[in-house]
Structure 1
Amino acid sequence: MKHESGSISINTENIFPIIKKWLYSEKDIFIRELVSNASDAISKMKKLDAIGEAELPEGNKFEIKVVVNKNDKTIKVIDNGLGMTEEEVKKYINQIAFSGAVDFLEKYKDKSDDGQIIGHFGLGFYSAFMVSQRVQIDTLSYQKDAAAVRWVSDGGTEFEMSDSDRNERGTTITLYLSDDGLEFTDEYKMRTTLEKYFAFLPYELYLEDSAKEEEKKEENKEEPKEGDDQANAEPKKPEPLNDTKPLWLKNPKDCTDEEYKQFYTKVFHDFNEPLFWIHLNMDYPFNLKGILYFPKLKHEFETMEGQIKLYYNQVFVADNIKEVIPEFLLLLKGVLDCPDLPLNVSRSFLQNDGYVNKISTHITKKVADKLTSLFENDRENYNKYWDDINPFVKYGCVREEKFYDRVKDALIFKSTKGGYTTLKEYLENNKEKHENKVFYVSDEKQQAQYIKLFNENGMEAVILTNMIDNHFMSLLESKGSGLQFNRIDADISASMKQENTGIPEDNVSYLENLFKETVNDEKLKIQVESLKNETIPAVVLLSEQSRRMQEMSKMFGGMDMGHMFPKEQTLVLNSSNKLVKALLDLKDKDERKDDVKLVSEHIYDLAMMSHQTLEPDAMAKFIQRSNEILMKVL
C-alpha cells in the first residue's frame, strides 16, 4: 500500500480529553479494553471458521500475549484473531466506529457524569491514549491476499498508515507510554491488572517481560561455568495467567462439592469453607451463569461486606453492582457472567434498562428457592446454617416483599428450649401460656435470670440478637393478625405467679413507698406479685413499646429522645421471697431503718443487673454496699 496520512474523522480535537477525563474512572481500564478487543477478534475468527467463511491452519492455537518492556517504555498487546484490512482500519479506527461522532461530542463535552455516555463499538481502543503518547497498530487480516497494515497516531487527530512487516494473522497494538503510564511496564503491576480482569478469559493469556528476557540473553552469552546446571536447563514453558473454563460454565450436575469449594477459595482467598452455594445456569430468556456462595461469618459485622464479581463474556467488570444484585444479597460472595447486560462504553456502568431488573428478580427468586428447598429437604443442615444466614434473610424480608413471600414459611428461630422453631410451630406449642405473643431474648447473658424463670415454668422464648431484628419483628407483626413480640423482660406471665397469695394493701403501699424513697424516683412503678420462684426478690420489667422507641432513637443518630419516649420501667417485688418478707417484718422497727434501706437498695440493684448493665456510679455504690453487707454478716 502507499504511505498515507490524514485526519481521524471526528471534526474536532476534543475526543481524547473526553475519553481520558470522563469515560474511564480507573487508569488500568486501558488494558482491559485492549485485551477484551483482542478476545473479541479471536471470537470472531472462531465464528467465521465455524460457519465455513474462513479456514484455520492445522494445529492453530488461539492466544493473547501482553509484552511489557521497561527499557523501551512500551506495552504490546498481541492476538491471532481475524486481523484487519486497510479498509477496515480506515472504517473502525480512523472514523471511530460509533454513530454521530460530532453529535456525541456536542452532547457530552460539557458532561461529567460518565454513567450518561452510551456504549459504542470501537471506542474502547482509544483508551490506549490514556497512558500513551503514541500508539501503533500492526495488523494482518485472515482474508486471502490481504496486506499487512500499520497505523500510527500520537493522540491528536492526525494519523499515518503504511505497510507493516507483520507476517501472521492477527493484530499487535504497541503503546509508547507517556510518563504517567510507565508504572504498567512493571511485570508485577501488569500481572496483577491482568489477573484482576482476565482470570477467566476464554483464550489463553500470557505475560512476557521482554526487558528481562533481553537481560537473560546477555547473561547467557557469558561463558558458562563448569558444572553450571542452568546452562543445560530446559527453558521453562510459559503458563497462561487465566483459567479458560471457569466452573460456572460447567453443568451443575457435573460439578463436585470439592470443585465448588476449591473455586471459592481460589476466587475469594477465603479458606473458610462456604456453607452452601447456588449454581445459576440459564440461557433463556437471558444468558446468565454464575455461582453464589453463602459464606460462614466470623462475626455479625461481616454481613456488611460480601463480594459479587460481575463478568461480561468472562471479562471482569466490577464488584457488587447493585442494579444486578439486590442490596440485601450483597452478604453473599459469588461470580455472575451475563453477556446480555447492557453496559455503557466504559463497561463499568449499567445502563438503566428493564432487562437488568429481570435479571435481578431472577437471582432473588433462585436464592429464595434454594433456601426453601433446604428448609423442606435438609432441615437439619438448614438449622445449622441459620446462625450465619439469618441476618441476610431477615434483611431481605424487610427490603423485598417478594423475597419475604417466597421464604416466609422457611423462617426459623433459635429457641431457649434448644433447637429451632418456625413461628407457626412456636405459636401452636405455646398457645395456652402465650396466647398470640412471641417472647424473645436479645441478650442471653444479660437476661439469664428471665430465661431461668421461663424454663422453670415450661415457657419458651426465641433468641433474636441481631441489629436487624427490631425491623424484622415489626414486619412480622404487620403480617400476622394480632401477633405481638415481647422481650422476655417486658411482662410477667400469669403462669409464673402463685394463686391466692395476695398481701394486705398497707403492705403493698409500704413497699411502694420504701423503694421509691430508696431509689429516689417518685415515678418508679412498683408492682407486688407472688412468684412461683421464691429465690428471686425482684425483677425489672420494661414496656416493649418504650424499649423499641428508645432503641430506634439511638439507631437514628444516637439522639437522646428520653423526654419523648421515657422508660416505662416497673420494679416487680416478689412477696413470696424471704428478703421481701423480712423487709415487711421490719417495717415498724425504727432501729433497723438503716438495714432496711441497705437491703432494699441492694434488691433494686440486683434486679437492675439482671435487666441491664449498671451505670459506673451505680456499680461503684453496689460494690461498696456489698462490702458493707458482708461486714455486717461477719
Structure 2
Amino acid sequence: MSREQGSLSINSENIFPIIKKWLYSDHDIFYRELISNGCDAITKLKKLSIMGEYEEVDGEKYRLDVIVSPENKTIKIIDNGIGMTVDEVKQYINQIAFSGAEAFLAQYKDKTNEEQIIGHFGLGFYSAFMVADRVTIDTLSYKPGSTSVHWESEGGTEFEMSEGDKETRGTEITLYLNEDSYEFSNEYRAKEVIQKYCSFMPVEIYFTNADAPIEEKKEEEKEEIIDAEVDADGNAVENSDADDTEANEEEKVEDKEPKPINNPTPLWTKHPNDCSEEEYKEFYRNVFHDFKEPLFWIHLNMDYPFNLKGILYFPKINTEYDSVEGTIKLYNNQVFIADNIKEVIPEFLMLLKGVIDCPDLPLNVSRSALQNDGFVKKISEYITKKVADKLSGMYKVEKESYEKYWDDISPFIKYGCLKDEKFRDKMKDFIIFKNLEGKYITLPDYAEANKEKANDKIYYATDLQQQSQYINMFKEAGIDALVLTHNIDQPFISQLEQQDDKLHFQRIDADLTDSFKEEVAEGEEADKLKEKTDALTELFRKVLNKEKLEVKVEKLKNENVSSMVTLSEESRRMQDMMKMYNMYGMDPGMFGSSETLVLNANNKLVQYIFEHKDEDVSIFCEQLYDLALLSHKPLEAEAMTKFISRSNEIMLKMAK
C-alpha cells in the first residue's frame, strides 16, 4: 500500500449526536449558552463603539429579550447586538466549533481585552438542538449596507439559508421545541432556569410570555379639578394637589415599565468602598434566600496576576438544625458555572456562602467543569490567603468583634486548620478559647495563668452541665479550664499536640489533681487509707458485679463530694475513636474500660459504708456508683431505670 498523508475529516452527522447528548450534562443549559451569545453580541458592539468603529444612536438601549410561547412550544431569544453578515453566518454557524468570540478577540487583540467576552469555544449555539427539532436564525449586521439573513435547520446536520426580512440590527433565534422539552416554554420553568444561570449577566434580560392574557385597559376620563382658595384680597390661589396628582401618575407609569429579570451589575463587580453594609446584606438575602443576617463578609477584588472578584459570607450556623455545608457559586464573566467546585474552593471554605467570579478560569468545552490546571491551584491559594488575612486582621484591629463572632466561626477556622496547612500557619497565633469564666484567652495566656497548678497540662471541659461537679472543684481549687464543646475540638486538639509536643490536653474528669486532695502522711495514716481502699474495692466489685473495677479511696478537701468517676485521657480518646468506627461493625467495648471509681474518705456516707460493710449496704454502693457515673456521662437506658427505681426506694425508706 502506498504512503498517504491528509487531514482528518469529521462528518456533522457523526459528531452532532455526541454534541446533543454528551456535551452538556443538563439540557436546561441551552438557555445559558444562547443568552450568553446574545450578551457577547452586545458587548462586541459596545467595544466597537468605544474604538470608534460604530456610532451609537442617541438614547439607544442595549437589551436581550426572551419570549416563550407555551401554546406554540417555541422560545425566541433576541438581542440588538452586533448581528451577522451572510459570510459570518457561514463561518460561525455552518462550521461547528468556530468561535466568533475567539475571532473577534484575535482581530482586536491590540485594542480591547477579553474579560467581558463570555464565549470561547463556539459550541454554545448547538446546545439549542438538545431541546429543539427545528431552529431558525434571523440576523442583521451592524455594518452599513448589510442584508438580513434567514437561516434554519431541522436536526442540526442540514441547513437552509436565504435573504431575510429582519429590519433591525441584531439576532433573533427561534427554537421549536421537541416533545421532551416542552417544559422550557413554560413561563415558570423558563424563569427558573434563566435565574439559575443568567441572574447576573452583563446585559439586561427581559422576559415575555407571548400567550399571557392581555388585560383590557379601560380609558377613564379624568377631570382636572383645580381647587381654588381665596386669599384675604379675594384673589384665587391654585392648590398644589393637582401637581401632586401629576407626579403620582408619572410614578405609576414608571412602575408599569417592564423590568429586567437579571441584575447586570452585581455587587461583586463594584469596589468595596462603594458598597454599603445594607447592600451586602440585601445581596446575601437575594442570592441565598437566607434571612438570617451573615456575621460578616470578605469582598475579593483582584486584577493581578489573575482577574478574580467575589464576596464570601460567614453565615450564622445553627449546627443543631442547619446543614453545615454552605454554597459558593462560581461564575465566569457573570455567567453561572456551578456550585461548590472543589478545585477552586478549598474544602474548608465550603462552610461559607458566597460568589466568586473569575474570567480566567480554564473551563472545559461545555463550560460546566474546570480543566486540570495548576492555575486553578493558585486561585484556590489566593482565596485561602484572603480569608486568613481577613480573620487575622479582625483579631488585631477589631478584637471585640472577633470574640463576639468566635463561637460561630471557630468550627470553620479549626476545620480549616485541620485541612489546610497554609491556612493553619497563618491562623495559629489567632486561635482563642473560652475559659470557665466565659472569657476568651489564647493557649499562652492559659499556660501563664495556670502554670503553678495545672502541672503543664491544659484542662478542658466538653459539657458544662454534665461535668458541673468537676468544674466546681476546679473553680474551688483556683484552676482554670477551656470549654471545648464542638465535635471538631477533639481532632483539633490532637493536631495541636502533634504540632507541639509540649502541649498536653486533659479533660477535667480524666484524673484528680493534687490540688483536690489532702496530703496523706506516710505511716499509719497511709496504711489506714490502703486498708479502706482494699476493703471497699472488694465490696464494690462484688455488689456491682464488676470484677475489674478499679477503686481508689482518696481524702478530698471537699467532704461533700462522695464519689467520682475518672477515665484517663488516652482511654477516653480511644473509646471515642472506637465509637466512630462502630459504624463499620467494630465494638467500642472490645478494648475494655479503664474507668476508676474514686471514693472520698472524708465523706460521711463513704465512712458509713466502710464501717458497715458486712451489713446490707449494697443499695448505697449501687447508688454511689451511679451518682458518680452521672457526673461523668449519661447512664445507659437500663441503668437509668434501675437508678430511678432505687432512688424511689431510698426515699420511701427515709419517709418510714
Partner amino acid, structure 1, of 2:440: Y
User: Matches of 1:328 and 1:525 in 2, distance apart?
Assistant: 43
Give the aligned partner of residue 641 of structure 2.
620
Give the aligned partner of residue 234 of structure 2.
none
Give the aligned partner of residue 102 of structure 1.
none
TM superposition shift of 1:345: 2.1
Give the aligned partner of residue 447 of structure 2.
427
Q: What is the TM-score normalised by the length of structure 2? A: 0.87
2:284 is the alignment partner of 1:268: no
Q: Deviations over 1:291-327 (max 9, x none)?
A: 1000111225636320111111111111111111111
Give the aligned partner of residue 5 of structure 1.
none
Partner amino acid, structure 1, of 2:315: P
Equivalent residue in structure 2 for 1:568, among 576, 584, 594: 594
8 Å CA contact 2:582, 2:588 repeated in 1: no
Equivalent residue in structure 2 for 1:610, among 628, 631, 656: 631
User: Matches of 2:460 and 2:569 in 1, distance apart?
Assistant: 11
TM superposition shift of 1:509: 1.0
Give the aligned partner of residue 114 of structure 1.
none
Question: Matched residue of 2:638: which SS?
Answer: helix
Question: Matched residue of 1:481: which SS?
Answer: coil
2:606 is the alignment partner of 1:580: yes
Partner amino acid, structure 2, of 1:465: T
User: Matches of 2:158 and 2:586 in 1, distance apart?
Assistant: 67
Give the aligned partner of residue 340 of structure 1.
360
Structure 1 602/372 Cα, relative in aligned 2: closer, same or farther at 3 Å? same
User: Matches of 2:83 and 2:98 in 1, distance apart?
Assistant: 19
Partner amino acid, structure 1, of 2:473: L
Partner amino acid, structure 1, of 2:29: I
Give the aligned partner of residue 104 of structure 1.
none
Q: How many residues align?
A: 593
Q: Deviations over 1:322-349 (max 9, x none)?
A: 1111111111011111111111122110
2:394 is the alignment partner of 1:374: yes
Equivalent residue in structure 2 for 1:521, among 546, 553, 578: 546
Partner amino acid, structure 1, of 2:16: F
2:207 is the alignment partner of 1:207: yes
User: Matches of 1:337 and 1:207 in 2, distance apart?
Assistant: 25
Alignment of 1:272-351 (within 5 A): 272-300=292-320, 302=322, 304-351=324-371
TM superposition shift of 1:547: 1.2
TM superposition shift of 1:618: 1.2
Partner amino acid, structure 1, of 2:443: L
Q: Which stretches in structure 2 are left out of the alignment for 5+ residues?
A: 1-8, 100-118, 224-251
Equivalent residue in structure 1 for 2:570, among 534, 545, 563: 545
Partner amino acid, structure 2, of 1:583: I
2:260 is the alignment partner of 1:240: yes
User: Matches of 2:47 and 2:86 in 1, distance apart?
Assistant: 22
Alignment of 1:40-189 (within 5 A): 40-98=40-98, 121-189=121-189
8 Å CA contact 1:124, 1:345 repeated in 2: no
TM superposition shift of 1:228: 12
TM superposition shift of 1:197: 1.5
User: Matches of 1:530 and 1:93 in 2, distance apart?
Assistant: 91
Q: Deviations over 1:414-456 (max 9, x none)?
A: 1112211111111111111113211111122111111111111
Q: Deviations over 1:107-144 (max 9, x none)?
A: xxxxxxxxxxxx96210110001110000011111112
User: Matches of 1:470 and 1:564 in 2, distance apart?
Assistant: 22
8 Å CA contact 1:417, 1:455 repeated in 2: no
Equivalent residue in structure 1 for 2:430, among 378, 399, 410: 410
Question: Matched residue of 2:13: which SS?
Answer: coil
Question: Matched residue of 2:591: which SS?
Answer: coil
User: Matches of 2:172 and 2:476 in 1, distance apart?
Assistant: 80
Partner amino acid, structure 2, of 1:216: I
Question: Matched residue of 1:216: which SS?
Answer: coil
Q: Deviations over 1:457-511 (max 9, x none)?
A: 1111111122222211110001112211111111111111112364513222111
Give the aligned partner of residue 630 of structure 1.
651
User: Matches of 1:292 and 1:87 in 2, distance apart?
Assistant: 45
User: Matches of 1:17 and 1:300 in 2, distance apart?
Assistant: 48
TM superposition shift of 1:369: 0.8
Note the aligned Cα RMSD (angstroms): 2.0
Give the aligned partner of residue 534 of structure 2.
509
8 Å CA contact 1:97, 1:120 repeated in 2: no
Partner amino acid, structure 2, of 1:51: M
With 159-168 and 428-437 compared, the bigger mean Cα shift is at: 428-437
User: Matches of 1:538 and 1:272 in 2, distance apart?
Assistant: 46
8 Å CA contact 1:201, 1:243 repeated in 2: yes
8 Å CA contact 1:287, 1:338 repeated in 2: yes
User: Matches of 1:84 and 1:557 in 2, distance apart?
Assistant: 66
Aligned-pair identity in percent equals 58
8 Å CA contact 1:543, 1:569 repeated in 2: yes
2:40 is the alignment partner of 1:15: no
Partner amino acid, structure 2, of 1:628: E
TM superposition shift of 1:227: 8.6
User: Matches of 2:505 and 2:408 in 1, distance apart?
Assistant: 23
8 Å CA contact 1:328, 1:395 repeated in 2: yes
User: Matches of 2:345 and 2:639 in 1, distance apart?
Assistant: 49
With 173-182 and 51-60 compared, the bigger mean Cα shift is at: 51-60
Give the aligned partner of residue 498 of structure 2.
478
Equivalent residue in structure 2 for 1:391, among 407, 411, 433: 411
User: Matches of 1:565 and 1:427 in 2, distance apart?
Assistant: 33
User: Matches of 1:562 and 1:586 in 2, distance apart?
Assistant: 37
8 Å CA contact 1:550, 1:561 repeated in 2: no
Partner amino acid, structure 2, of 1:525: E
Question: Matched residue of 2:322: which SS?
Answer: helix
TM superposition shift of 1:356: 0.8
Give the aligned partner of residue 109 of structure 1.
none
TM superposition shift of 1:84: 0.9
